[in-house]
Amino acid sequence: MAILEVQNIQKSFGKNEVLKGISFELEKGEVMTIIGSSGSGKTTLLRCLNYLEVPDNGRIVVNGEAVFNSEEKENYTEANIRDLRLHFGLVFQSFNLFPQYTVLENIMLAPTLKVKEGIKNKSIPSQEKNREMSCIREKALELLEMVGLSDKVDAYPFQLSGGQQQRVAIARALALKPDILCFDEPTSALDPELTVEVLRVIKDLKKTGTTMIIVTHEMEFARNVSDRVIYMRDGLIEMDGTPEEVFDLSKNEHLNKFLNSGNL
Ligand SMILES: Nc1ncnc2c1ncn2[C@@H]1O[C@H](COP(=O)(O)OP(=O)(O)OP(=O)(O)O)[C@@H](O)[C@H]1O
Ligand SMILES: [Mg+2]
């Protein structure tokens, strides 16, 4: 069974039809990259998956459970959405770390809030608090080791390079154990030498079976890391295939023009 089914997602801003019916399925452990020219709707699609935008139409199904159904959108409450959002993690282009917190605190913050909420609504017994908190800390330290930043536990974001900040952002997204990790151009704000270390972490994640959707302009990386590549154009999926099908064998005129434009 697919871990993710996206069915006919449509989204307009005013008269601007940005997503015109996006459908795809993703298997567990699969890595899918999304390519396409500026304005084709890539970020909007990721934002719809992460409840940062509400689609006008469509369904999103994770592990067989409908986590979004446009016919029921009036029924979603804020608490609901907070829970549903946990299926997805999102890493932005611009890191978005909390500047007033250390690296470790940045990673522990969201899971800590979740435990506090659990104690408040009694889904977690209050005597479990210390045990839960030490698990969160242990997991955060493990994640920092995985992204190669064990020596930066107590540093503040301003003391880190862009590449290091992005790796903290990846660890932070993983701390909530999402089913699917999404990246929106994770390296486009970075110099080439810092890009390499972020791409290495993403490759390592693939080895551990993490299901990922990556919007990227790094075509070589897309070719190397992807099981599938989707080419979006003007709010639609124009091509969906293996890296070989998309990069080497495609006869699609728009795609080939895009790949040859050098303006990625
Ligand atoms: N909140 C919003 N309000 C109004 N229009 C929006 C909003 N967000 C996106 N758009 C419009 O939707 C279209 C698609 O934008 P989107 O950011 O999804 O493109 P993209 O494929 O991610 O482009 P890029 O490669 O430049 O990041 C654009 O025309 C944009 O102006
Ligand atoms: Mg974008």
The answer to whether the CB of 33 is under 6 A from ligand 1 is: no
What was the pLDDT predicted at 142? Answer: 97
The answer to whether the CB of 263 is under 6 A from ligand 1 is: no
Measured in residues, the chain has a length of 264
- List residues bridging with 263 in a β-sheet: none
- List residues bridging with 24 in a β-sheet: 6
Burial of 184 (0-12, 13-18, 19+ CB in 10 A): buried
d(CA 112, CA 14) in angstroms, rounded, equals: 38
Largest CA distance in the chain: 63
Give the closest residue (by CA) to ligand 1 atom 28.
Answer: 39
* Separation of CA 27 from chain center: 15
What was the pLDDT predicted at 139? Answer: 97
What was the pLDDT predicted at 19? Answer: 98
Q: Provide the residue ranges of all domains of the chain, joining segments of one domain with +.
A: 100-176
Q: Which of 9, 10, 13, 56 to mutate to test the pocket of ligand 1 (most atoms within 8 A of CB)?
A: 13
Q: Which of 33, 42, 185, 188 to mutate to test the pocket of ligand 1 (most atoms within 8 A of CB)?
A: 42
What is the side-by-side order of every strand in the sheet holding 16-26? 16-26, 4-13, 57-62, 65-69
What was the pLDDT predicted at 264? Answer: 53
The answer to whether the CB of 125 is under 6 A from ligand 1 is: no
- Phi, psi of 135, rounded to the nearest 5 degrees: -65, -45
Give the closest residue (by CA) to ligand 1 atom 18.
Answer: 41
**Sign of the C-alpha dihedral computed for residues 155, 108, 187 and 47 taken in this order:** negative
Q: Which atom of ligand 1 is nearest to the CA of 53?
A: 1
What was the pLDDT predicted at 80? Answer: 81
The answer to whether the CB of 16 is under 6 A from ligand 1 is: yes
What was the pLDDT predicted at 83? Answer: 82
CA of 184 to the centre of ligand 2 (A): 7
Show the low-confidence residues of the chain (pLDDT under 70).
262-264
Mean of the per-residue pLDDT values of the chain: 94
CA of 235 to the centre of ligand 1 (A): 10
Evaluate whether 80 touches 116 at the Cβ level (below 8 Å): no
The answer to whether the CB of 158 is under 6 A from ligand 1 is: no
156 contacts: CB under 8 Å, gap ≥ 6: 99, 100, 101, 102, 103
What was the pLDDT predicted at 243? Answer: 96
CA of 13 to the centre of ligand 1 (A): 9
The answer to whether the CB of 216 is under 6 A from ligand 1 is: no
